[in-house]
Amino acid sequence: RNLATPGPLCDEHADAQGRTGRFHDDQFLWTRHPEAANFVFGSHCGALAARAMGSERAHIFYDHLLVKEPGTTSPTPWHNDYSYWQIQGMDIVSVWLALDHVREENGVSYVR
Q: For the segment 12-65, what is each residue's pLDDT rounded down to a tens digit?
A: 776 666 677 778 888 898 999 999 899 999 999 899 999 999 999 998 888 888
Largest CA-CA distance found in the chain, in angstroms, rounded? 46
What's the DSSP call for residue 83?
Answer: G
- Side-chain-facing half-sphere of 74: CA atoms under 13 Å: 21
Cα–Cα dist 26/66, whole Å: 7
**What is the strand order of the sheet 11-12 is part of?**
11-12, 23-27, 64-68
Q: Is residue 77 part of a domain?
A: yes
Q: Is residue 112 part of a domain?
A: no
Q: Is residue 32 part of a domain?
A: yes
Contact (CB, 8 A) for 95 and 47? no
Q: Is residue 38 part of a domain?
A: yes
Average pLDDT over residues 64-86: 77
Range of the domain at 59: 1-107
How many domains does one find in the chain?
A: 1
